[in-house]
């Protein structure tokens, strides 16, 4: 038999299930052998003393996307994907974001035109739905789901994006019928609007007041409401970028009742606080994201949520805006907090920051892999092609040096943002060699693949998005006097 293309030897191979010292053989982009007797290969890599883990999946990042306020994000698909790769990520899942009035099919085509010629690692798209009209719900989304776009993000706030509860139910119903995962940005729009008006009326317009306007109760209330909508029609849901105890409690309580509610959190809720927004002049704008970072007590709650399984995925929510008139300061050099584009960068440091949780004793290496990669693959219909190290899976592998100590500074980051909110954070453990479909993407501190060499990944209908089959009485024809209110295709 012909040589293997790649052999990775003597490393500790870590998956979400276990750790074992063995070699990995790769041919034609796939893992073909896991054993201690892997034959010769064209490329040999010695991973002694290293951790060999699935490449990360960053299942929530915004690339070449306009903010709700119309500000263009900083990275394109080249700089964004390069930065992700240097941080040990081999698949990104950005958004194809519909604006009101747009055809979602056309939006998807436009994002492909951006990504195809530039991405250096593999990518799939979630859809952002801001205008769920009849054409979108009846025609476009069912067809797009069949074409591999099997997850949508919907917003409960932002004037340009917000859906009302009835529209959220329509989206959930569609997801239930067609087999898609619904991701929800849960913040109470009216509470934020009211607080914003009060703050601005009182002359409180500095960036730090962003963290006051986006109250924890606004996140908790919207999370509770979203879960009720999900329960009403028995459709799973994933609450994204959870920052605070109020939301964590709601998710945990729903999970304890057996509901299929999934949670995501992000590095900014572990390493930043609202005090980071309290800086001279407009500097605090760099830390304005939604929901905002909270406080030390909430950081601890978020770490605990990662450890105890409340959160299934850990994403960057990379939403980068340069600190200039095209980005954070697009509304002027002294713009009030509510005119500052929301988001922080994080594609490259997401995994080294999460790895700190292993070092601090919060969770195991297996949990790290699950949060970094495996769970996202399962939740979004990419497993087992992505998210694990197994025979038949794509050879998406990151070799980590667990002893490498790094103090994060912007000069080691490869994005196009101009700053990092994590400047000065010290971590131990860093990805040093990265493969995507067997291609050497990162080695010896350099990029080894061409622009546009990443591949689009159509997603399957995710199994975790299937309804439980437990309808509340009002929706159950056996108990609601025979009224059949749901399309039943996905009922289990
Ligand atoms: N939501 C996101 O998911 N990303 C950035 C800003 C926001 O509100
Ligand atoms: Zn959001
Ligand atoms: Zn986001």
pLDDT digits (tens, 9 = 90+) for 204-233: 999 999 999 999 999 999 999 999 999 999
Check pLDDT > 80 for residue 1. no
User: Which atom of ligand 1 is the closest one to the Cα of 187?
Assistant: 8
pLDDT at 319 over 60: yes
Structure tokens at 382: 């990419």
Closest C-alpha among 178, 197, 188, 177 to residue 219: 188
Instruction: Band the pLDDT of 257: cuts 50, 70, 90.
Output: very high
* 445 touches 85 (CB < 8 A): no
Is the CB of 290 within 6 Å of ligand 1?
yes
Q: Measured from the CA of 240, which atom of ligand 1 is nearest?
A: 3
- CA of 104 relative to ligand 3 center, distance in Å: 18
Q: Which ligand minimizes its atom distance to the CA of 317?
A: 3
Q: Which residues pair with 41 in a beta bridge?
A: 4
pTM over 0.95: yes
Q: What percent of the chain has pLDDT over 70?
A: 99
Q: Which two tokens stand for residue 115?
A: 């990504």
Q: Is 50 in the pocket of ligand 1 (CB under 6 A)?
A: no
With residue 132 as reference, give the H or E element that holds it: none
Measured from the Cβ of residue 467, the count of other Cβ atoms closer than 10 Å reads 22
Backbone angles phi, psi at 46, to 5 degrees: -95, 120
Residue with tokens 């790649």: 6
Is residue 342 within 6 Å of ligand 1 at its C-beta? Answer: yes
pLDDT digits (tens, 9 = 90+) for 422-435: 999 999 999 999 99
Mean local confidence (pLDDT), 267-287: 98
Q: Which residue has its alpha carbon closest to ligand 1 atom 1? A: 290
Contact 228, 172 (CB under 8 A): no
pLDDT of res. 492: 45
Relative to the CA of 291, which ligand 1 atom is closest?
8
% residues pLDDT > 90 (the chain): 97
**Residues 6 or more apart in contact with residue 448 via CB below 8 angstroms:** 439, 440, 441, 442
Beta-carbon contacts of 432 under 8 Å, excluding residues fewer than 6 positions away, are 50, 399, 400, 401, 404, 442, 443
pLDDT attached to residue 488 = 65
Region 393-414 average pLDDT: 98
343 CA: nearest ligand 1 atom: 5
Only one residue has tokens 């450890």, namely 307
CA of 107 to the centre of ligand 2 (A): 19
In angstroms, what is the span from residue 241 Cα to ligand 3's centroid?
A: 7
- Pocket flag, ligand 1, residue 319 (CB < 6 Å): yes
């Amino acid at each position: 038999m012909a040589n293997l293309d790649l052999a990775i030897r003597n490393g500790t191979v870590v998956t979400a299930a276990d750790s074992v010292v063995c070699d990995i053989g790769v041919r034609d982009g796939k893992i073909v052998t896991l054993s201690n007797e892997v034959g010769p290969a064209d490329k040999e890599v010695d991973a002694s003393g290293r951790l060999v883990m699935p490449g990360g999946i960053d299942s929530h990042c915004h690339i070449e996307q306009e903010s709700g306020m119309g500000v263009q994000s900083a990275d394109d698909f080249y700089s964004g994907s390069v930065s992700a790769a240097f941080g040990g990520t081999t698949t990104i899942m950005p958004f194809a974001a519909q604006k009101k009035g747009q055809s979602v099919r056309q939006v998807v085509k436009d994002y492909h035109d951006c990504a195809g010629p530039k991405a250096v690692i593999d990518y799939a798209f979630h859809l952002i739905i801001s205008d769920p009209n009849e054409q979108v719900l009846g025609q476009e989304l069912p067809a797009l789901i069949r074409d591999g776009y099997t997850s949508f993000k919907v917003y409960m706030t932002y004037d340009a994006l917000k859906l009302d509860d009835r529209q959220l139910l329509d989206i959930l119903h569609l997801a239930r019928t067609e087999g898609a995962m619904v991701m929800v940005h849960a913040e109470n729009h009216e509470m934020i609007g009211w607080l914003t008006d009060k703050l601005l009326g009182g002359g409180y317009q500095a960036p730090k007041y962003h963290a006051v306007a986006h109250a924890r109760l606004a996140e908790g209330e919207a999370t509770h409401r979203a879960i009720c909508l999900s329960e009403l029609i028995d459709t799973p849901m994933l609450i994204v970028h959870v920052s605070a105890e109020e939301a964590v409690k709601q998710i945990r309580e729903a999970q304890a009742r057996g509901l299929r509610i999934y949670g995501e959190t992000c590095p900014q809720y572990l390493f930043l606080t609202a005090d980071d927004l309290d800086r001279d002049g407009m500097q605090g704008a760099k830390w304005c994201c939604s929901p905002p970072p909270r406080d030390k007590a909430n950081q601890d709650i978020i770490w605990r949520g990662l450890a105890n399984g409340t959160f299934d995925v850990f994403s960057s929510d990379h939403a980068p805006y340069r600190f200039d008139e095209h980005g954070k300061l697009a509304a002027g050099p002294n713009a009030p907090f509510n005119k500052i584009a929301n988001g922080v960068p994080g594609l490259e440091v997401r995994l080294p920051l999460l790895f700190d949780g292993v070092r601090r004793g919060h969770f195991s290496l297996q949990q790290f892999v699950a949060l970094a990669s495996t769970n996202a693959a399962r939740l979004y219909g990419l497993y087992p092609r992505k998210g694990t190290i197994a025979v038949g899976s794509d050879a998406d592998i990151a070799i980590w040096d667990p002893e490498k100590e790094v103090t994060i500074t912007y000069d080691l980051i490869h994005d196009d943002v101009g700053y990092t909110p994590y400047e000065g954070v010290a971590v131990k453990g860093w990805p040093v060699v990265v493969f995507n479909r067997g291609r050497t993407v990162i080695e010896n501190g350099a990029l080894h693949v061409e622009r546009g060499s990443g591949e689009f990944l159509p997603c399957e209908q995710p199994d975790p998005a299937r309804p439980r089959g437990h309808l509340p009485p009002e929706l159950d024809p056996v108990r609601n006097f025979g009224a059949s209110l749901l399309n039943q295709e996905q009922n289990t």
